[in-house]
């Protein structure tokens, strides 16, 4: 079967630059704040390449440890294959200018298509892949395991497994993920966003042993607990990246109380805007527009439709949390 995602050759200079980044995260050095890139559109719903580059430069220049493309909050499910290819190239170009690690999510449901997509993203410059296991028609645990293992083995770069049972409806035990690392050593990163996440994180780290790294998802809602249990990074939305960087720097420099204060200041906004996925996508873009990072906060349909009450509370929370923005 021929995949729609065919590997693309890089120039010698670009290839050398990206290979140095890949080498730097071959071990377990990937950590920190690696936000999910929102997908900018024009008011007509077309891909806005200028705004995409503006957003990437803001995240990279703002000090993010890596950036992540095609996460759930990036509306990947509303993009065509050709659009994904183009966006991946743009992201690789911008990340390559500073050797900022680029994580790209593989989301195809068939194993063959997912492997082809993984190979393509590796070829254009991804430094790590995030793999969202298939969930349509609820595959068995063994089928999920075989899918993840085969896709992981199709590339040489590190792979992160995204465990998001609330969004996918598919449960995967820590034992399956630990077994993956034992048999496919490049699958060494895990984004955990089940609810509650804490016990799962502890169980996974205990079962898999040394060698894996855990990231917390769910907008970093369980940031403090996850780090207390051994997480090394977070993958929230990108609109308030500097607030997450502040928390991370406070926590990793031994100022846990200050990190908790910052986290507590963020929680009221998260509590309001993350009532469902489309809602947080809508308000993430609204924040990015208000901050002057993108021009349009358009979301492709179907999308969240607010009313005056939602927007009024959002504005109240925005005024409070904006005090924590850098610059």
pLDDT in tens, 112-143: 999 999 999 999 999 999 999 999 999 999 99
Listed in order, strand segments (DSSP E) in 145-202 are: 159-163, 187-192
For residue 20, pLDDT over 50 is answered with no
Taken in order of first residue, the domains within the chain and their CATH numbers are 12-240 (3.20.20.70)
CB 275 within 8 A of CB 20: no
pLDDT in tens, 44-70: 999 999 999 999 999 999 999 999 999
For residue 13, pLDDT over 90 is answered with no
Task: Provide mean pLDDT across the span 284-309.
Answer: 98
For residue 12, pLDDT over 60 is answered with no
CB 170 within 8 A of CB 136: no
pLDDT in tens, 230-256: 999 999 999 999 999 999 999 999 999
Judged on CB neighbours under 10 Å (0-12, 13-18, 19+), 323 is: exposed
Q: What is the pLDDT of residue 28?
A: 62
Q: What is the pLDDT of residue 100?
A: 97
Alpha-carbon gap, residue 61 to 147, rounded angstroms: 36
Task: Provide mean pLDDT across the span 296-314.
Answer: 98
Q: What is the dihedral of CA 122, 288, 259, 214, to 10 degrees?
A: -20
Least confident of 25-39, 253-267, 301-315: 25-39
pLDDT in tens, 277-288: 999 999 999 999
Q: What is the pLDDT of residue 25?
A: 64
What residues are paired with 102 via a beta bridge?
67
Q: Record the pTM.
A: 0.93
Task: Provide mean pLDDT across the span 263-273.
Answer: 98
First to last CA, the chain: 51
Q: Measured between alpha carbons, how far is residue 222 from residues 110, 243, 255, 260, 269 in Å? A: 32, 15, 17, 11, 14
For residue 290, the SS3 value is helix
Q: What is the pLDDT of residue 16?
A: 47
Query: In the β-sheet with 102-106, what is the strand arrangement from edge to edge?
Result: 32-33, 233-234, 213-216, 187-192, 159-163, 128-131, 102-106, 67-69
Average pLDDT across the chain, whole number: 93
CB 75 within 8 A of CB 281: yes
**DSSP characters over 92-115:** HHHHHTTT--EEEEE--SSHHHHH
At 209, is the pLDDT very low, low, confident or very high (cuts 50, 70, 90)? confident
For residue 30, pLDDT over 50 is answered with yes
Task: Provide mean pLDDT across the span 160-180.
Answer: 94
Alpha-carbon gap, residue 315 to 113, rounded angstroms: 42
Closest of 217, 202, 148, 155 to residue 177, by C-alpha: 148
The percentage of residues in the chain with a pLDDT greater than 70, rounded to a whole number, is 91
């Amino acid at each position: 079967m021929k995949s729609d995602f065919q590997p693309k050759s890089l120039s010698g200079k670009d290839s050398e630059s990206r290979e140095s980044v890949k080498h730097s995260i071959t071990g377990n050095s990937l950590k920190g704040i690696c936000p999910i890139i929102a997908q900018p559109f024009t008011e007509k719903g077309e891909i806005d390449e200028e705004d995409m580059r503006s957003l990437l430069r803001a995240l990279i220049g703002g000090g993010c440890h890596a950036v992540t493309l095609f996460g759930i909050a990036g509306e990947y499910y509303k993009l065509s294959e050709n659009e994904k290819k183009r966006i991946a190239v743009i992201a690789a170009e911008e990340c390559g200018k500073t050797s900022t690690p680029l994580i790209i999510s593989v989301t195809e449901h068939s194993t063959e298509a997912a492997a082809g997509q993984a190979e393509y993203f590796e070829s254009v410059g991804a430094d790590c892949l995030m793999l969202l296991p298939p969930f349509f028609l609820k595959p068995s645990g063994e089928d999920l395991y075989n899918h993840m293992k085969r896709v992981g083995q199709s590339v040489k770069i590190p792979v992160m497994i995204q465990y998001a049972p609330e969004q996918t409806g598919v449960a995967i035990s820590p034992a399956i993920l630990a077994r993956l690392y034992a048999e496919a050593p490049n699958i060494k990163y895990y984004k955990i966003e089940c609810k509650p996440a804490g016990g799962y994180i502890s169980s996974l780290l205990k079962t898999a042993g040394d060698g894996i790294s855990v990231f917390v998802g769910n907008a970093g809602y369980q940031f403090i607990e996850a780090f207390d249990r051994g997480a090394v990074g977070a993958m929230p939305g990108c609109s308030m990246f500097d607030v997450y960087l502040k928390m991370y720097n406070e926590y990793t420099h031994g100022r846990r109380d200050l990190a908790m204060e910052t986290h507590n200041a963020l929680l009221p906004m998260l509590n309001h805007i993350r009532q469902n996925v489309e809602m947080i996508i809508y308000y993430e873009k609204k924040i990015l527009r208000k901050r002057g990072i993108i021009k349009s906060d358009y979301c492709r349909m179907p999308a969240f439709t607010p009313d005056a009450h939602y927007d009024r509370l959002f504005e109240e929370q925005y005024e409070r949390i904006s005090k924590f923005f850098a610059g």
